[in-house]
Amino acid sequence: MSRIPEETIQQVIAATDIVALVGRSVKLRKAGTNYLGLCPFHNERTPSFNVSPSRGTYHCFGCGAGGSAIRFVMEHDGMSFVEAVKRLADAAGIRVEEEVWDANAEAEAKQRSLLLRANREAAEWFHLLLMKHKLAAPAREYLKSRGISAEMAKRWQMGYAPQSTTFYREWMAQQKLPERVMVEAGIFIQPTEDENGQFSRPYARWRHRLMFPVRNDNGDVIAFSGRILDKDQKGGKYVNSPETPVFTKSRVLFGFDKSKRFISKADQAIICEGQIDMIMVFEAGLQNVVAGQGTAFTELHAKMLKRVCNEVVLCYDSDNAGREATEKAFRTLSPQGISVRVAELPQGEDPDSLIRKQGSDALRAIVADAHEFLEHQIRHLRASSKSNSTVERVRMAEQVAGAIGIFNGVAQRVAAVNKVAKLLEISEEQLNAMVKKAALEQKTDSKQPGAKDSASNPADEAKKLLASQHTTALQLCQMALSNSEVLHWLREADCEDMLREVPGTELLALLARSRYNPLDETSQLVFMSGLERYEEAAFAQLQARAGLPGGLVEAQQLLYVLEIVRLQNLIQGTRAKLRQPGQSFDQLDELQRKERELSAVLKECLDRAKPAPNSFSP
């Protein structure tokens, strides 16, 4: 990974107004010297989200989220540390020059750059073929039949993948793209070995297909989706890129790079099933639209949307598969605090076909008239029901109860029960009992083997991390956080072996290897911004504790204690090896010599670690 110099990070943090930054997505009100608002990272009705302009930080007392302006951009916009710094630097007019940590990081950065280049140039080549080459005539005819003009194809950089892998290879040679990179980018497929242990040459993943480039939030091409052009063509209707170092399906929504500002402005996202549907809806003027990427709607997708809107309109096909996808999406979106409505398309229609037949106003009216999910579910159950008897209405209520149980907020559940009870003409008491039963069953199912754990709270993870640390290491870390003399001494001390070999010194190692300065608030923010959220929360909890007495002498005593632990562990390990059978005379002699040396060093450390007069005991 690339590294941005800490001096640049300090400039970025100093130049960023955190109140203005947070205020673009959170409604803040002044409260003394700070600002308060509703937390954007969890659902709440009473403001517990605090922004401190003097410290340049934010903190939520409800969910534990907190950090600097960089951390806010990372969490709110789903960016990496480097991407967040670059965004803030661009806004502040600060030039960012990246460094490289080490050889492994440099290789990783080069690989990512190569994959992005391969995807970018492949997108340009596919597009050129579509627009100019005679081989792509069937693709152009297909686009024409779907009402997609040349201008639209240019705006979305649609392309054509040729049938022949040889054609690909000629282009690769011109671009000087190695075959290995094409495989790593997912553009080529590496066949598995045959019975003789031999591998055939890689071949093109997409052949004779209409190509749609998939982009990340920054507009970089990171993957492709290829659609068949002939009904009898082998393979799936759509073939998507595999996951690569630059592409993770569960984190990408097609078209989000173009539509996110329209979604934010409308506070609503329209979700379609396929690329063409999404493009046609966008081009028809409903620009707050995205599409999934060939996978089920994920929690990460929901979080991406929650950052920019509070409502979603599901615009899926009206067949059974579309209804199943609608219910699954509701169960993913609703726990994130997103209101879900369902656009009820005419039977047999999708957004694209509806626009072509009836125009964009028809779809616009259906989206505007979209019903809340529960009402939609009841309408569908009633349409397929044979009667409106009490027994039938109770059966419908039992099916809807599970969906009501998905709501996190008490007020949401009360409102949903009230509405559904009226629609189905049953008592609220009866429906509440069904909801409780459904919630209990869902809770029991979630505890079954193989059920996924819910996302951990950073504050809880921080407590676990602190509990796993060696008590003496935590004391030394606590001193170094507030005492610049102790921290400077610690960095000069020869303690790398101890930090590497003693369990429970991970937080101390992070601090010792950093450029954190207790006297410089900006450097503290820089240090915190580069940590994982649970690590940042752990350090925040350490800082909040009462300061320990003593100074450099007491810190040295603590380090001696940790060195003693390291030596005791090494001696135990050496003695264990001595007891192992099958050792040669030379090996035993070497192990015994090592034990004597370690024991001598341990005795010296024990003498030095004797508490100084009036010092505290570790």
Give the DSSP letter of residue 547: P
pTM: 0.60
User: Where are the chain's structural domains?
Assistant: 2-99, 103-190+201-247, 251-369, 376-446, 459-608
Helices (H), 360-455: 360-368, 373-384, 390-404, 410-424, 428-446
Whole-number pLDDT of residue 512: 86
Q: What's the whole-number mean pLDDT along residues 485-506?
A: 83
Query: Rounded to whole angstroms, how far apart are CA atoms 185 and 221?
Result: 11
Burial label, 45 (beta-carbon count in 10 A; 0-12, 13-18, 19+): exposed
Strand 209-215 to strand 238-240: parallel, antiparallel, or no bridges (unpaired)? unpaired
| CATH class of the domain whose range is 251-369 | alpha beta
Query: Rounded to whole angstroms, how far apart are CA atoms 524 and 518?
Result: 7
CA 137 to chain centre: 40
| CATH class of the domain whose range is 103-190+201-247 | alpha beta
Percent of the chain as helix, strand, coil, to the nearest 5: 55, 10, 35
For residue range 417-474, what is the model confidence (pLDDT) as tens digits? Answer: 888 888 888 888 888 888 888 777 766 555 554 444 444 567 777 888 888 888 888 9
For residue range 130-158, what is the model confidence (pLDDT) as tens digits? Answer: 999 999 999 999 999 988 999 999 999 99
**Residue 529 in contact with residue 13, Cβ under 8 Å?**
yes
For residue range 67-89, what is the model confidence (pLDDT) as tens digits? Answer: 889 989 888 887 778 888 888 98
Question: Would you say the CATH fold of 251-369 matches that of 103-190+201-247?
Answer: no
Assign domain 2-99 to its CATH superfamily: Zinc finger, CHC2-typedomain (3.90.580.10)
Query: Rounded to whole angstroms, how far apart are CA atoms 109 and 128?
Result: 29
Residues whose CB is less than 8 angstroms from the CB of residue 390 and which lie 6 or more positions away in sequence, other chains included? 426
For residue range 328-365, what is the model confidence (pLDDT) as tens digits? Answer: 888 888 888 888 999 988 888 889 889 999 999 999 99
Closest CA to 110 of 180, 16, 8, 11: 180
Alpha-carbon torsion (169, 174, 176, 181), positive or negative: negative
